[in-house]
A and B are shown apart, each in its own frame.
Chain A
């Protein structure tokens, strides 16, 4: 280290030690902002990049298509098609039904594809445990391998209703989600395949339109009924990142707010350090430090806490983002924050701090040594004086009127502090709006008030007692017990849309289904058989709309239905239909649960006891009133609000600290003429409370605007169609107290340094002067 650099370092180190409180504030501000930004950037990356990497690495299929083998030959399917980069297949595809006797596999349909190997030009299946099937009775199941949780399935034997028994010899995952299980081609042929699967990689597949056009080109010239269904990789990609994508808009909003607040406060802290340290600058220059070395001292002084805050914030951000990232991969692939995010925040946040410091540090560069040593850089005489003069005659306690005038003495600093409080108040407003929206969504999703109890019928395979009563008898029994008002029986059945490999879930309802409290955002609720309602996410995922026809398959049975309504629900693979529609698919199906609404005032516990007494094979469970997504969003919003509110309050803390330091003489004089400690505290807190009130009022529209941007973006990403009342949550009772957030931030930030100012020793201050 050169002698000059050593001197700069020693001077910086001394400055850091001398300004302990400000150094700490700067470090905490950078820390909090970094946490918010790492989470936001990490999510941003994880929503797209890991899927892209995995998809390209395994040569995922842009299109998974199912053809009717009766309509088109294998040779025709295998022929080279225009716009296709690579193709694999045809593979025989059959749907078998897992028998209800298996302990390890849920009963219901299973799409099985016959493939000779996991490799090939398209959709290289990741065989992460065991081996590929080599003969009859062997099967590989599609299970996520991220944490090897499903390893216990290796060696499991299970039967299907079609009369075959399988042993699980391997576990694999397909990034294209092309099947739920794989067998040898010979085994697939023995299962009586109803469709032939083709896997395609297209020359152009960047957008939905590209994929649609490519698929249309594939089927040009084929008989009209040849293509039974197809699935785009973009659907799979959106599905994989749906949860995280929903979080992204609000995390980004919080991240941007955090970054701006951090820059404002860093600029404020550093400019304050230059002003407060003006005498120090003069001494440094008198000792022979060049202007550039003085700038270097001030930049280093900022860099030390910024590096520490940035490093700790990056680590904390990585930990905070982990639970969300686990959702993004959905178990299909492991998601981690890319090194560029860490590099960007580790280098970027200190760089932002140094850039923010540069302007005030350059003031130190220009400050003449004699002036710095002689008089420091006091507030220009008379600045803010006009305001103080006006306030002196105001009918207010003098400590209050003096406090109100203080910010005008340092308009630049007051402006930066105000901006930080505005953003802090905007953050609180945004979080409050998000919480209201999510609470309303959660109540609608959980149908709070519509269903109080869910009664499950016991199942032997779950080691439960089967019910003594029949399905219809149970419904009647539950309806007849004291307290019950409405009872809806339902069955959750695994189905397929005819011709598509990915399973969906059908919820079939009997009884008082109109009272379930489902939020219909388009169309209407069910009125009879042959109708389905589906969440808007379901429709978006498949390019469907209310009024479209939908063919449901269960094994070989089919039911033709019409979509009559869209619900708000975010479930992308769920439809709901009348029980009579199920009768066409599975005539013997029993209800698996019964949803009960109780009369107002009826006791859930008493009702549960009556249910258990009437039939020990019935298992009543109180309906949960908590939606996990709501809890997660409100939790994250609250965490980030606390972080950013703390950052804004620290900005206020720093401003009061600087004001008190610069006005030590005035404070000493005021105390010498009889200002009490309480009056000093009131004066200093008032100076910031006024800014807080202004910041709260200005932050309110900013927060409301952010909410207006973020909520639709979140809903869109999650595939939700929110009714207007969930978006327009701003009512007078909320709008009135929200501006108080600015005052709260300001008062909390100001209180400690104000009380410290009140304890100032007058004799020492006046002696120093």
Chain B
């Protein structure tokens, strides 16, 4: 089932990002439609993570425009960006980035609680997601007691708590063994198939081939190739 529509979730126009004398992104433009799963690939230092940070509102471009889910990020102050991240995007990281002091369920619930959702309601929503992700029985475990795959599923649950328009994944299988990596890939495919827009930064061609409907190749801060993909089973 093709869940894509023509609504643009991401629109980058001529974006530049410089760190001192180093140019990380050099006039990059990119569009991602709703329901797409886009894999951003390229060698180390090509600007992949910088691109992800700009789309997530974690960093600001030196020049150009970044629009996500109809919101021009350049117009937002720090609080506005925080509210944007809270409501419009979910992020998963290579190293999971869970809070070690909180049990898995509370890690996920946290994202909803920050919006003012009462604790019980947030935990119910988190449990619902844990159930869907197959980790409900691990809800009370602390991150240190979870396997890598389980931790990444908790991170996915946290990212989905507020029903974001865009799910951003930064090397989501990079720190996992192959079996856990497979499970996470399946999870991302499932999410995209029910309409979740994905933008995945990865080195792994296998992940791109399995999860993405389009591959974008970066080099020296510029898009050098784009390719629509037929997902491999």
* Interface residue ranges, A against B (CB under 8 Å): 378-379, 381-385, 388-389, 392-395, 397-399, 405, 409, 665-666, 668-679, 759, 761-763, 766-767, 769
Q: A677-B79, A677-B82 are in contact. Are A392 and B97 (CB under 8 A)?
A: no
Q: Give me 15 A-to-B residue pairs in the complex whose CB atoms sit less than 8 angstroms apart, sorted by A's number.
A: A379-B101, A385-B100, A385-B101, A388-B102, A392-B113, A393-B119, A399-B114, A670-B99, A672-B91, A673-B159, A674-B82, A675-B82, A676-B79, A676-B82, A759-B78
Tell me the smallest distance from the CB of B39 to a CB of chain A, in Å.
20
- Which residue of B has the minimal Cβ distance to A677? B78
Option from B86, B103, B106, B120 in Cβ contact (under 8 Å) with A673:
B86
Option from B91, B97, B111 in Cβ contact (under 8 Å) with A665:
B97
Within 8 A of A (CB), among B116-130: 116, 118-120, 123
Cα of A710 to Cα of B161 in the assembled complex, Å: 59
Option from A393, A405, A672 in Cβ contact (under 8 Å) with B58:
A672
Q: A389, B82: Cβ atoms under 8 Å? A: no
Q: B24-57 CB contact bits vs A (8 Å, 1 = yes)?
A: 0000000000000000000000000100010010
Cα of A641 to Cα of B117 in the assembled complex, Å: 43
List A contacts of B97 (CB < 8 A). Answer: 665, 668-669, 672, 766, 769
Q: A398, B114: Cβ atoms under 8 Å? A: yes
Option from A671, A763, A766 in Cβ contact (under 8 Å) with B82:
A671
Interface size class on chain B is: 35 or more
Q: B83, A381: Cβ atoms under 8 Å? A: no
Q: B142, A385: Cβ atoms under 8 Å? A: yes
Q: A673, B93: Cβ atoms under 8 Å? A: no
List A contacts of B109 (CB < 8 A). Answer: 392
Q: B58, A389: Cβ atoms under 8 Å? A: no
Q: A669-B97, A673-B158 are in contact. Are A392 and B85 (CB under 8 A)?
A: no
Within 8 A of A (CB), among B62-104: 78-79, 82-83, 85-87, 90-91, 93, 95, 97-103
List B contacts of A759 (CB < 8 A). Answer: 78
List B contacts of A382 (CB < 8 A). Answer: 100-101, 142, 144
Cα of A670 to Cα of B59 in the assembled complex, Å: 15
Q: B95, A769: Cβ atoms under 8 Å? A: yes
Option from B58, B100, B102, B115 in Cβ contact (under 8 Å) with A763:
B58
Q: B101, A388: Cβ atoms under 8 Å? A: yes
- Which residue of B has the minimal Cβ distance to A392? B106
Tell me the smallest distance from the CB of A635 to a CB of chain B, in Å.
44
User: Top 9 closest A-B pairs, CB basis?
Assistant: A674-B86, A398-B113, A676-B82, A763-B59, A763-B53, A392-B106, A381-B144, A763-B58, A669-B97
Q: B102, A385: Cβ atoms under 8 Å? A: yes
* Interface residue ranges, B against A (CB under 8 Å): 49, 53, 56, 58-59, 78-79, 82-83, 85-87, 90-91, 93, 95, 97-103, 106, 109-111, 113-116, 118-120, 123, 142, 144, 158-159, 162
List B contacts of A666 (CB < 8 A). Answer: 99-100
Cα of A665 to Cα of B93 in the assembled complex, Å: 12
List B contacts of A671 (CB < 8 A). Answer: 58, 82, 85
Cα of A454 to Cα of B127 in the assembled complex, Å: 82
Q: A762, B58: Cβ atoms under 8 Å? A: yes
Cα of A379 to Cα of B99 in the assembled complex, Å: 12
Q: A385-B142, A669-B97 are in contact. Are A392 and B79 (CB under 8 A)?
A: no
Tell me the smallest distance from the CB of B79 to a CB of chain A, in Å.
5
Cα of A111 to Cα of B30 in the assembled complex, Å: 105
Q: A393-B120, A669-B99, A675-B82 are in contact. Are A766 and B87 (CB under 8 A)?
A: no
* Count of A-B residue pairs with CB < 8 Å: 106
List B contacts of A381 (CB < 8 A). Answer: 100, 142, 144
Cα of A679 to Cα of B144 in the assembled complex, Å: 26
Option from B91, B101, B111 in Cβ contact (under 8 Å) with A405:
B101
List B contacts of A379 (CB < 8 A). Answer: 100-101
- Which residue of A has the minimal Cβ distance to B59? A763
- Which residue of A has the minimal Cβ distance to B103? A389
Q: A389-B102, A766-B93 are in contact. Are A673 and B118 (CB under 8 A)?
A: no
Option from B58, B114, B144 in Cβ contact (under 8 Å) with A766:
B58
Tell me the smallest distance from the CB of B183 to a CB of chain A, in Å.
22
- Which residue of B has the minimal Cβ distance to A679? B114
List A contacts of B49 (CB < 8 A). Answer: 767
Q: B79, A673: Cβ atoms under 8 Å? A: no
Q: B95, A398: Cβ atoms under 8 Å? A: no
List A contacts of B59 (CB < 8 A). Answer: 761-763
Tell me the smallest distance from the CB of B125 to a CB of chain A, in Å.
14
List A contacts of B101 (CB < 8 A). Answer: 379, 382-385, 388, 405, 409
- Which residue of B has the minimal Cβ distance to A769? B95
Tell me the smallest distance from the CB of A584 to a CB of chain B, in Å.
85
Q: A395-B119, A665-B97 are in contact. Are A672 and B85 (CB under 8 A)?
A: yes
List B contacts of A674 (CB < 8 A). Answer: 82-83, 85-87, 111, 114-115, 162
List A contacts of B82 (CB < 8 A). Answer: 671, 674-677, 679
Other 14 A-B pairs with CB < 8 A, given A392-B109, A393-B123, A674-B111:
A382-B101, A382-B142, A398-B113, A666-B100, A670-B110, A673-B90, A674-B83, A675-B114, A676-B79, A677-B78, A678-B79, A766-B93, A767-B49, A769-B95
Tell me the smallest distance from the CB of A396 to a CB of chain B, in Å.
9
* Most chain B Cβ neighbours within 10 Å, of A666, A675, A676: A676
Cα of A372 to Cα of B40 in the assembled complex, Å: 35
Cα of A409 to Cα of B101 in the assembled complex, Å: 8
List A contacts of B90 (CB < 8 A). Answer: 673
Cα of A40 to Cα of B119 in the assembled complex, Å: 53
List B contacts of A767 (CB < 8 A). Answer: 49
Tell me the smallest distance from the CB of A757 to a CB of chain B, in Å.
13
Tell me the smallest distance from the CB of B124 to a CB of chain A, in Å.
12
Cα of A761 to Cα of B53 in the assembled complex, Å: 11
- Which residue of B has the minimal Cβ distance to A673? B111
Tell me the smallest distance from the CB of B104 to a CB of chain A, in Å.
11
Cα of A398 to Cα of B117 in the assembled complex, Å: 9
Cα of A763 to Cα of B103 in the assembled complex, Å: 25
Cα of A669 to Cα of B102 in the assembled complex, Å: 13
Cα of A379 to Cα of B142 in the assembled complex, Å: 14
Cα of A661 to Cα of B133 in the assembled complex, Å: 34
Q: A672-B91, A674-B85, A677-B79 are in contact. Are A394 and B110 (CB under 8 A)?
A: no
